[in-house]
Amino acid sequence: MSDWRDLAALLAPVRGRLLGAGALQALAALCGVLPYIAMAQLGALLLASDVDAGRAWNVLWLALAALCLRQLTTALGLHLTHLADADLQCQLRLRLARHLSRVPLGWYAGSNAAKVNEIVQRDVAALHRLVAHAPSDLAAVVVAPMACLAWLLHTDWRMTAVTLVAPALAWWRYRGMAAPAFREGQAQLQRTGGELAAAMVELVQGMAVFKTYAQEALPQARFHAVAARHARQFLAWVRRWGGMGALVDVLLSPPVVLAFVVSGAWLGAQTGAMAPAQMLPFALLGMALCAPVAALGHGADDLKGGLAAAHRIGALLAEAPMPQAATSLLPAGDDVRYEQVRFAYPGSADVLHGIDLCLPAGSVTALVGPSGGGKSTLAMLLPRLWDVTAGAVRIGGVDVRQIDPAMLYARVGFVLQHTQVLRLSVRDNIRLGRPEASDVQVEAAARAAHIHARITALPQGYDTLLGEGLALSGGEAQRLAIARTLLADPRIVVLDEAMAALDPESEAQVQAGLSALLAGRTVLVVAHRLQTIVQADQIVLLDGGRIGERGTHAQLLAARGRYAALWAAQSRVDEVAP
């Protein structure tokens, strides 16, 4: 039921228009039945021994008028539903954009960013069938068969019973397709289909590696095994359920319905219970009765897909936004304090345990330690990509949760290992740090970040559009991000392994840009290479979410602890490196 509730909540803004369209489509369905009734009446009139031409023409004109009215009401109804669909998709995307702007920035890590794209584009579009076509489909399925059934019962209840034999058998078989075994079979098919897709991705993406080591047969064998398993599952499903769906289609087809009607009429004529001409209403309206029911079965997949899309959209809108304080406070300085900080990612155990750490204003603090120790997590709590589970992170004595987000991001800048370059000009990418900055200020920031020469070498210089077949290298993107941060002029800077994946030449250029960025600011840097942070005012070694050691480079080497061991290990690697 939650899927239906999600759908009802999403459709609330256009509910009135959908109800109006439903009423128009109900009228269209009634008008669609009238020509069948008119043709049956016309046939009876023309087969009579004394043809009433005037009445026959009246019936014919009535049929034509009903057809015209049906076309008009159908067009109006579809126009209304398509307008509602366009409005709803626009409103939903705007609503999702507003909501996503309020969720924690850390939420976008991992698969969530890809999930957002799927929901905003594909799932919102998947509601089209439910909004633009469901009212007409529902009217056709409910109103038209009920009108046909009422007229047939009025004409002859016995022939009505004969006409309903085929739809009744189809309904009985269709109910079997709603059994748990049918749904479980579909779920198994989806699972094996997902495994097949994953195996194909592994085959394609890993082919270069497998070929390098002459192991290309390994992923192929794995793919063939998964493909064979999926094929067996599909064939078993088709053998059990495929015939059932085909039987439903056959039972609702016009020839089968007509065969039942003709058989009933023949028996009635043999017993003298009815004249052959009385068969016409049942032959015509029987097919009109079954056609919408057959269409309903084919629209069930669209309905299920729309419900699933509505559920995913509802789940995204239910993501908790980042809490904001009713009153914003202004920090009194640029010092940073972590006070008894604990943190756990949603649904996971704590990754930080009681962290107490002080970053004096204007100092450089480096976080080092083994992978998974909590370095990046601790750093990301400062710009509030996540909120602490317990304790507090303070800037100038003020909890970051008490600072207005815009003020916080103006005060705290960060450069990450994987820098995002937007589909904008180089100038506008840098100007994100300060939209009102002049061209002179943008170029000054680029010079300080040691990226100006590379920019001027681009086809249109600072006006070059990035992403149009032109991509920056990792080091160039990092220096562009440094220029952006320099232009923003934050008082506090967070660097999360900003040089971890760079070659030595790029690292030297980025290091030169960082020197300009870090001067006079409070800096928290997550370091991968210890050689880059030997001049830090304090070095903090994190292990298992706890502070294991802290001090200057010289102090930690003298202590001969974990830091000294890491330093020795990296020094040996650097000595043997070419």
Average pLDDT over residues 3-19: 81
Residue 257 has pLDDT above 80, yes or no: no
Residues 6+ apart with CB under 8 A from 200: 223
Lowest mean pLDDT among 7-16, 46-55, 233-242, 347-356: 46-55
Q: What pLDDT does residue 177 have?
A: 65
Residue 338 has pLDDT above 90, yes or no: yes
The CATH number of 336-576 is 3.40.50.300
Average pLDDT over residues 25-44: 83
Give the relative orientation of helices 53-100 and 2-11 as an angle to the nearest 10 degrees. Answer: 100
Q: What pLDDT does residue 113 have?
A: 65
Q: What pLDDT does residue 500 have?
A: 55
More confident residue, 88 or 326: 88
Cα–Cα distance for residue pair 306/245, rounded to 1 Å: 21
Residue 350 has pLDDT above 60, yes or no: yes
Q: Look up residue 116 and give its two tokens.
A: 């957002």
Q: Are 270 and 206 in contact (CB under 8 A)?
A: no
Q: What pLDDT does residue 360 have?
A: 93
Highest mean pLDDT among 42-56, 92-106, 507-521: 92-106
398-411: b (≥16 Cβ within 10 Å) or e: bbbbbbebeebbbb
Helix or strand holding residue 540 (H, E): strand 538-543
Q: What pLDDT does residue 506 have?
A: 59
Q: Are 103 and 322 in contact (CB under 8 A)?
A: yes
Cα–Cα distance for residue pair 483/501, rounded to 1 Å: 19
Report which DSSP code applies to 132.
Answer: I
Lowest mean pLDDT among 20-29, 134-143, 432-441: 134-143
Angle, vertex CA 498, rays to CA 497 and CA 502, nearest 5: 105
* Per-residue pLDDT tens over the stretch 288-325: 777 666 566 556 666 777 777 888 888 888 888 888 87
Burial of 66 (0-12, 13-18, 19+ CB in 10 A): buried
Q: What pLDDT does residue 510 have?
A: 62
More confident residue, 212 or 74: 74
Lowest mean pLDDT among 143-157, 388-402, 441-455: 143-157
Average pLDDT over residues 488-505: 73
| Antiparallel, parallel or unpaired: β 538-543 and 546-551 | antiparallel
Lowest mean pLDDT among 15-19, 385-389, 420-424, 505-509: 505-509
Cα–Cα distance for residue pair 346/344, rounded to 1 Å: 6
Cα–Cα distance for residue pair 134/127, rounded to 1 Å: 10
336 backbone dihedrals φ, ψ, rounded to 5°: -125, 135
Residue 539 has pLDDT above 90, yes or no: yes
Q: What pLDDT does residue 402 have?
A: 92
Residue with tokens 């304080």: 325
The alpha carbon torsion through 143, 149, 150, 154 (nearest 10 deg) reads: 160
Residue 477 has pLDDT above 70, yes or no: yes
Residue 394 has pLDDT above 90, yes or no: yes
Lowest mean pLDDT among 56-65, 164-173, 195-204, 292-301: 292-301
Report which DSSP code applies to 550.
Answer: E
- E strands, 292-432, are 336-344, 350-359, 364-368, 390-395, 398-399, 412-416
Q: Are 202 and 224 in contact (CB under 8 A)?
A: no
Q: What is the pLDDT confidence band of residue 112, given thresholds at 50, 70 and 90? A: low
Residues 6+ apart with CB under 8 A from 23: none
The residues spanned by each domain of the chain are 1-156+277-322, 188-273, 336-576
Q: What pLDDT does residue 509 have?
A: 64
C-alpha 382 chain-centroid distance? 29
Cα–Cα distance for residue pair 244/469, rounded to 1 Å: 52
Q: What is the pLDDT confidence band of residue 575, given thresholds at 50, 70 and 90? A: low
Cα–Cα distance for residue pair 52/216, rounded to 1 Å: 83
Q: What pLDDT does residue 216 have?
A: 64
* Per-residue pLDDT tens over the stretch 213-243: 666 677 677 788 888 888 888 888 777 776 6
**Diameter of the chain measured on Cα atoms:** 120
Q: Look up residue 228 and give its two tokens.
A: 């064979």
Q: What pLDDT does residue 474 have?
A: 75
Cα–Cα distance for residue pair 507/478, rounded to 1 Å: 10
Cα–Cα distance for residue pair 448/398, rounded to 1 Å: 31
Q: What pLDDT does residue 210 have?
A: 62
Long-range contacts: 400-405, Cβ < 8 Å, 24+? 401/323, 401/325, 402/325, 402/327, 402/328, 402/329, 403/325, 403/328, 403/329, 403/330, 403/331, 404/324, 404/328, 405/322, 405/324
Cα–Cα distance for residue pair 536/556, rounded to 1 Å: 12
* Per-residue pLDDT tens over the stretch 160-179: 888 888 787 877 777 766 66
- pTM exceeds 0.85: no
Residue with tokens 């232009």: 487
User: Which residues is 551 bridged to in the sheet?
Assistant: 539
Average pLDDT, whole number, for the chain?
A: 81
Cα–Cα distance for residue pair 127/117, rounded to 1 Å: 16
- R_g of the chain, CA atoms, integer Å: 35
194 backbone dihedrals φ, ψ, rounded to 5°: -65, -40
Lowest mean pLDDT among 181-195, 284-298, 561-575: 284-298
Q: What pLDDT does residue 68 have?
A: 92
Q: What is the pLDDT confidence band of residue 361, given thresholds at 50, 70 and 90? A: very high
* Among 521, 475, 520, 517, CA closest to 498: 475
- Topology given in CATH for the domain delimited by 1-156+277-322: ABC transporter transmembrane region fold (1.20.1560)
Cα–Cα distance for residue pair 533/541, rounded to 1 Å: 12
Q: Look up residue 478 and give its two tokens.
A: 């990092």
Lowest mean pLDDT among 261-265, 372-376, 397-401, 534-538: 261-265
Q: What pLDDT does residue 63 have?
A: 85
CA dist list (Å): 96 to 36, 39, 254: 47, 52, 46
